[in-house]
Amino acid sequence: MPFPDIQILSTRHLRGPNVWTYRAAVEVWVDIGALEDHPSNTLPGFNQRLQAWLPGMIEHRCSVGVRGGFFQRLLDGTWAAHIMEHVAIELQTMAGLEVGFGKARETHQRGIYKVVVRARQYDVAHASLLAARDLVMAAINDTPFDVAVTVNRLKAMADRLCLGPSTASIVDAAAQQGIPSIRLTEGNLVQLGHGSRQRRIWTAETDRTSAVAESISRDKDLTKRLLAQCGVPIPEGRIVESPEQAWEVAQDMGLPVVIKPSDGNHGRGVALDLNSQAEIEAAWRVADAEGSQVMVERFVRGEEHRLLVVGDQVVAAARGELACITGDGISSVAQLIEQQLNTDPRRGEEEHFPLDTIRLDEQPHAVLELQRQGLAANSIPALGRRVIVQRNGNMSNDVTDLVHPEVAELATLAARVIGLDIAGIDLVAQDISRPLHEQGAAVVEVNAGPSLLMHLKPASGQARPVGHAIANHLFPLKDNGRIPIVGIVGHRHTAALAQLVAWLLHLSGNRVGMACSLGVFMDQRHVDTQDARGHDMGERLLINRSIDAAVFETSPREILLEGLPYDRCHVGLVADMPALDGLQDLDVITADNMRQVVRTQVDVVLREGVAVLNADVSAVAELEDLCDGEVMMYGLNPDSAILGAHRRQGRRSVFCRQGHVTLARGDQETTLLHIDLAPVARLLKHEDMSVSHLLAAVACAWSLGVTPTLMRAGLKNFRQKTESESQEKARMKA
């Protein structure tokens, strides 16, 4: 009697930091049913089958902490949900998305588990979990399972859905610099940084890549003209009227030359590498027969090179490989390509292969190249004849260290002349380590949005950290592109608290975005009235280019369902422990469960950030050990045990002493104002604003450098102004 399938009860996409991890994850709740009574060591043949299907899991250390740790757990006996987690991780890794994080935890209900794995891409991670369930069931019930098919399916999904390798290299490099990213489309458009500090990239284009420069780079003639004017060598060409003139011009230009029809974007009538008068005059007649004018162009000898210019530097260079076949007198060109070129293990269809598979029907350039040599796909080259198939198909040999400084200078100039901040400069040279003019080398093309792959995965030579170069170009001087973010969690009236914090930040000259239960506010404008504590609404603030600082009110439910809408914050405020009631459906039953949820707000505080904790709630104050950054405490009583201890350590705190709101660092104290002051007293009469809230808001503002003078003015002004404004609006409407 086979075991019934593990039931998947619910699925959630944790898009931001959550109770499990800082990063995006998929959480499923599963019911393993009868398997609760059958750990792995009790299932006959199960461990062997599983290990045979997924031998790579030997690397899973699991809680044992050594290689083979997970297999040890299987032997000792572990439960299906936990196994499913490991299988999901392994499947993702095999599909090319390496992930390390996973967890399986019992709920308060017997047989029901939460299984979580990190999601580099949600759909792939989700599909891996489903496949893991099926694989585990197959191993348990001893039914067949085709691992290879599953992995290929996941791999195809990953190729389709994940960022392309060029974009990914930039995003990863940015992440290493601490720069957050938000993917804006299913394509490769990514925002790096937040709000007004953000930059955008789209593969290797940036938001400073000029559209006009791109049009110039697409106009080959204009590109050549502009480059020549600034002294960048190009293969100069001239229109000629007769064979005699062609020879004359060729001598003038220097041999060898190319002769081609002036509109020659097709290969017909093109002749390369001509040296003699007879060749040139004959080639003129062939080209002239094509109907347009005939052009003599300097033939540039050598190999194609691609130099990647980022900002004002050449950051990588690759030399192209000529793809050649040699005739055997029997096989056709197409067959020779299959035999001699496509068998190269570096060639493949997918993007991560350094070289493309050559398919003549998809590569008109190769067809042209063959035409110039008088061949077509079905021609049979003579025995021993060497035929060039691709001159510029793939650049694959890294030559970055060889580039002569003058060549680098000219490449950089070429990018500047066209107006591109990132450019791929194609140049033909015999030796990239010598100045161009010495060898008659020339720049043949300037490309916007160049592929980075050839530098990331060269067929030979060293890989270059071009993603880092671009990230540095976008965010120089260790800028991490972050705007100040305040995250707030608490029990009651945290929206009012968020409003007060946003108000104080607004007064200090920031355009502040705020998302809370009352909706979305942008620079004090109430733009949306729906509850905005969810991930999507919160992310709106970070996408907005005109936001200098953001304030988020968060609830435990949102953390559990979706995770926080930001990766890290500068200020994490915990005003109170939220009430437990109403979260049973999410398996939050005990105070410790709640602590696990709320701690997320403190976990995400940046090293240079501040956790602002309510000293009057001991469960809150106890979170201080979890904070990477500074901890600031506030409380009604400066001499309470917790606040007193905190102050004695010389740390910052905010409290109310005999009605005076006071900022203190150790025993250095600044009095802000008295709570009986009329406007403040009026403020405190509203049921959503308490003295404790006032202190919390002041602490947040202080954390972000708002001056006491401004805080004083702001507290006196809060809501007074908004009230008069709404009266004004009412009057206008009337």
Partner 1 sequence: MDISRIRALRGPNLWTRHTAIEAMVLCQGQECDLSTAPDFEQRLRHLFPGLGQLRTTQQGAVLSMAHAIEDATLHMQIAAGCPVTFSRTTLTPEAGMYQVVVEYTEEDVGRLALELAQALCQAAWDNTTYDMDAALAQLSALDEDIRLGPSTNSIVEAALVRGIPYRRLTEGSMVQFGWGSKQRRIQAAETDSSSAIAEAIAQDKDLTKKLLHAAGVPVPQGRPVLDANDAWVASQAIGTPVVVKPRDGNQGKGVTVNISTREEIEAAFHNAAKFRDEVMVERFLPGSDYRLLVVGDKLVAAARREPPLVIGDGQHTVSQLVERVNADPRRGEGHSTSLTKIRFDDVALARLKEQGLNAQSVPAKGLRVILRNNANLSTGGTATDVTDDVHPEVAARAIAAAQMVGLDVCGVDIVCESVLRPLEAQCGGVVEVNAAPGLRMHLQPSYGKGRDVGKAIMSMLYAPGDDGRIPVIAVTGTNGKTTTVRLTAHLLRTHGLRVGMTNTDGVYVQARQIDSGDCSGPRSARNVLMHPHVDAAVLETARGGMLREGLAFDRCSVAVVTNIGMGDHLGLNYITTVEDLAVLKRMIVQNVATSGMAVLNAADPMVAAMASSCPGQVTFFALDPHQPTLTTHRAQGKRVLFVEDDQLVAAEGKFEIRIPLSHIPLTRSGAIGFQIENAMASVAAAWASAIPWATIARGLSTFVSDAMAVPGRFNVFDYKGATLIADYGHNPDAIKALVQAVTNLPANRRSVVISGAGDRRDEDIRQQTRIIGEAFDDVVLFQDACQRGRADGEVLALLRQGLDGARRTSHIEEIRGEFTAIDAAIDRLTPGDLCLILIDQIEEALAHITRRVQENRSALSAH
Interface residues with partner 1 (CB under 8 A) are 184-185, 189, 200-202, 205-216, 219, 222, 226, 229-231, 413, 416-417, 419, 448-449, 520, 522, 525, 527-528, 539-541, 543-546
The least distance separating partner 1 from the CB of residue 421, rounded to whole angstroms, comes to 10
Of 427 and 606, CB closest to partner 1:
427
The least distance separating partner 1 from the CB of residue 394, rounded to whole angstroms, comes to 25
Of 91 and 452, CB closest to partner 1:
452
Of 39 and 440, CB closest to partner 1:
440
Rounded Cα distance, 156 and 178, in Å: 30
For residue 94, what are the contacts with CB-CB under 8 A and spacing of at least 6?
A: 56, 151, 154, 155
The least distance separating partner 1 from the CB of residue 684, rounded to whole angstroms, comes to 31
Of 185 and 709, CB closest to partner 1:
185
Rounded Cα distance, 524 and 511, in Å: 8
Of 207 and 628, CB closest to partner 1:
207
In Å, how far are 411, 456, 640, 649, 694 from 643, measured between CA atoms? 62, 53, 5, 10, 17
Q: Return phi, psi of residue 195, to 5°.
A: 50, -135
Of 478 and 525, CB closest to partner 1:
525
Look-up of token digits 């007060």: 500
Beta strands at 294-298 and 257-261: parallel, antiparallel or unpaired: antiparallel
Nearest by Cα to 193 from 424, 428, 412, 484: 484
The least distance separating partner 1 from the CB of residue 567, rounded to whole angstroms, comes to 17
Of 168 and 543, CB closest to partner 1:
543
Rounded Cα distance, 699 and 608, in Å: 16
The least distance separating partner 1 from the CB of residue 214, rounded to whole angstroms, comes to 5
The least distance separating partner 1 from the CB of residue 216, rounded to whole angstroms, comes to 7
Of 535 and 540, CB closest to partner 1:
540
The least distance separating partner 1 from the CB of residue 186, rounded to whole angstroms, comes to 10
The least distance separating partner 1 from the CB of residue 307, rounded to whole angstroms, comes to 18
DSSP state of 340: I
The least distance separating partner 1 from the CB of residue 48, rounded to whole angstroms, comes to 46
Of 298 and 647, CB closest to partner 1:
298
The least distance separating partner 1 from the CB of residue 101, rounded to whole angstroms, comes to 29
In Å, how far are 226, 615, 660, 663, 665 from 651, measured between CA atoms? 62, 13, 19, 11, 5
In three-state secondary structure terms, 99 is coil
Rounded Cα distance, 630 and 606, in Å: 9
Sign of CA dihedral 438, 444, 446, 451: negative
The least distance separating partner 1 from the CB of residue 547, rounded to whole angstroms, comes to 9
Whether the bond into 256 is cis, omega within 30 of 0: yes
The least distance separating partner 1 from the CB of residue 160, rounded to whole angstroms, comes to 19
The least distance separating partner 1 from the CB of residue 680, rounded to whole angstroms, comes to 31
Of 280 and 446, CB closest to partner 1:
446
Nearest by Cα to 50 from 98, 82, 26, 4: 82
Rounded Cα distance, 196 and 547, in Å: 5
Rounded Cα distance, 320 and 451, in Å: 14
Of 134 and 214, CB closest to partner 1:
214
For residue 375 the two structure tokens come to 């061949």
Tell me, what amino acid is at 618?
S
Of 467 and 538, CB closest to partner 1:
538
What is the secondary structure of 275-316 as a DSSP string? -SHHHHHHHHHHHHTTSS-EEEEEPPPSEEEEEEEETTEEEE
In Å, how far are 172, 236, 429, 434, 447 from 437, measured between CA atoms? 39, 13, 10, 9, 22
Look-up of token digits 């299988």: 87
Of 497 and 515, CB closest to partner 1:
515
Rounded Cα distance, 569 and 604, in Å: 6
* Strands annotated E in 554-629: 569-574, 605-614
